[in-house]
């Protein structure tokens, strides 16, 4: 396994409400400031979440590292735990696939300040079970395979890049973004769960291969 394996999981992190909120913020009264605040809040949670998961598994690995047999057994248990997390994640994504429509609280994002957007990024990524499970799985899997911490950075960067697509559209397209952003919002609301399930399936396959070695 290498860091390229976990990169697709960034799609699961932003699919749905997270990306929809980013679209609304890109259409706010202060789109650049609000979007950057939102990205900052999300970035703190994502970086902190995968780091905490990575550190936890890393510490456990070090504590049993003196026993080669125990280390190998622990690695298999970690793979099983990651598979369990992925299974739960797949079920959560499936159950939430019919959650359509725009939540009422998003109507207030039109006037969102950078500080409010930052808090929204923190709370939204902390409160979403899909994000919590994804961060746990990514961090644990990276630590289980002995990847250094910096290998998690491309995952964090890609997550923020995907989340920043509405802002990028605004910066690159200007007024034309008014036609693009609603399409991006509608796609995130209606079809992102399919892509998420495919990505989860790919990560499950990689983990099963590791488990069978």
pLDDT in tens, 49-87: 999 999 998 887 765 554 555 556 666 777 788 888 888
Per the listing, tokens 């959560």 go with 92
Task: Count CB neighbours of 198 within 10 A.
Answer: 13
- pLDDT (0 to 100) of residue 100: 52
Q: What is the pLDDT of residue 68?
A: 52
Alpha carbon distance 138, 105 (integer Å):
30
Q: Among 49, 85, 109, 86, which residue's Cα sits nearest to residue 199? A: 86
Residues 3-13 have a mean pLDDT of 81
**Alpha helix ranges (H) inside 64-176:** 68-95, 114-127, 129-144, 153-163, 165-173
Mean pLDDT of 165-189: 75
Q: Report whether pLDDT(29) > 70.
A: yes
- Amino acid 19: pLDDT: 84
Distance CA 198, CA 202 (A): 6
Find the largest Cα–Cα distance for the chain. Answer: 62
Range name among 52-56, 179-183, 200-204 with the lowest pLDDT average: 179-183
Question: Could you give the angle at which helices 177-190 and 17-26 cross, rounded to 10 degrees?
Answer: 160
Structure tokens, 79:
């793979």
Token pair recorded at residue 24: 């609304």
Whether 121 has a pLDDT exceeding 70, the answer reads yes
18 alpha carbon, distance to own chain's centre: 9
The pLDDT confidence band at residue 115, using thresholds 50, 70 and 90, is: very high
Mean pLDDT of 119-136: 90
pTM, two decimal places: 0.81
Give the pLDDT mean for 30-58. Answer: 93
pLDDT tier at 92 (50, 70, 90 boundaries)?
A: confident
CA dihedral 39, 42, 136, 13 (to 10 degrees): -60
pLDDT at 146: 84
Of the listed ranges 8-17, 98-107, 167-176, the least confidently predicted one is 98-107
d(CA 165, CA 144): 32
- Which positions ≥6 away from 37 have C-beta within 8 Å? 112, 113, 114, 115, 116, 117, 118, 121
| Residue 112 pLDDT exceeds 70 | yes
- Each residue's pLDDT tens digit, 189-200: 666 667 778 888
């Amino acid at each position: 396994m290498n860091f390229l394996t976990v990169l697709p999981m960034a799609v699961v992190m932003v699919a749905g409400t997270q990306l929809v909120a980013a679209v609304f913020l890109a259409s706010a009264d202060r789109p650049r400031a609000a979007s950057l605040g939102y990205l900052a809040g999300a970035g703190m949670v994502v970086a902190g979440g995968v780091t905490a998961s990575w550190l936890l598994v890393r510490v456990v690995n070090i504590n049993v590292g003196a026993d080669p047999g125990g280390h190998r057994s622990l690695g298999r248990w970690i793979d099983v735990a990651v598979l369990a997390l992925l299974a739960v994640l797949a079920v959560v994504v499936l159950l939430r696939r019919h959650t359509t429509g725009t939540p009422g609280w998003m109507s207030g994002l039109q006037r969102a300040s950078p500080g409010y957007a930052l808090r929204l990024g923190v709370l939204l990524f902390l409160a979403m079970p899909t994000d919590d499970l994804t961060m746990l799985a990514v961090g644990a899997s990276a630590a289980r395979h002995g990847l250094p911490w910096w290998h998690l950075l491309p995952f964090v960067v890609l997550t923020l890049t995907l989340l920043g697509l509405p802002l990028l559209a605004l910066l690159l397209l200007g007024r034309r973004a008014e036609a693009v952003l609603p399409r991006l919002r509608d796609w995130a609301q209606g079809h992102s769960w399919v892509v998420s399930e495919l990505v989860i399936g790919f990560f499950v396959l990689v983990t099963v291969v590791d488990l069978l070695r």
